[in-house]
C-alpha cells in the first residue's frame, strides 16, 4: 500500500535527491515554502498528501513570477515527490 502522505523526513530526503539533480539551495527552499504548511501539520494530517502535492505543483506552474523553478525542475520535483507517495 502506498503512503498516504510524504513525511517531514521523506521530504528532507527528497531535498537531498533534488540537490543531487542540480537544484540550488534557493530552489529547494522555494519548494519547501510551498509545502511548509502541509509539513507543519500534526497528527493524522501531518505531511503532504497527494492532493496537497498536486495543488502545490499547480501553484508553481501558475505563479512562475514568484519563484525561480523552471518547468523542467517543477516536473522533476513532482516526479521525485510522487515517488514518496
Residues in Cβ contact with 15 at an 8 Å cutoff, skipping those fewer than 6 apart:
28, 31, 32
- φ and ψ at 38, to 5 degrees? -65, -40
Question: Per residue in 52-62, pLDDT tens?
Answer: 999 999 999 99
Please tell me the predicted confidence (pLDDT) of residue 2: 60
Q: Supply 34's cell numbers.
A: 510551498
Q: How many domains does the chain have?
A: 1
pLDDT tens digits for 21-47?
Answer: 999 999 999 999 999 999 998 887 889
Domain coverage including residue 56: 5-82
Min mean pLDDT across 6-20, 32-46, 68-82 is at 32-46
Q: Is the pLDDT of residue 7 over 90?
A: yes
Quote the pLDDT of residue 43.
83
Separation CA 3–CA 61 (nearest Å): 25
Work out the average pLDDT over 5-18: 96
Within 10 A of 18 (CB to CB), how many other CB atoms are there? 19
Amino acid at each position: 500500500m502506498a503512503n498516504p502522505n510524504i513525511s517531514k523526513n521523506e521530504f528532507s530526503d527528497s531535498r537531498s535527491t533534488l540537490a543531487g539533480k542540480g537544484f540550488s539551495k534557493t530552489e529547494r527552499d522555494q519548494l519547501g515554502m510551498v509545502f511548509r504548511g502541509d509539513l507543519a501539520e500534526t497528527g493524522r494530517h501531518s505531511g503532504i498528501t497527494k492532493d496537497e502535492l498536486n495543488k502545490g505543483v499547480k501553484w508553481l506552474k501558475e505563479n512562475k513570477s514568484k519563484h525561480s523553478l523552471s518547468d523542467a525542475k517543477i516536473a522533476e520535483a513532482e516526479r521525485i515527490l510522487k515517488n514518496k507517495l
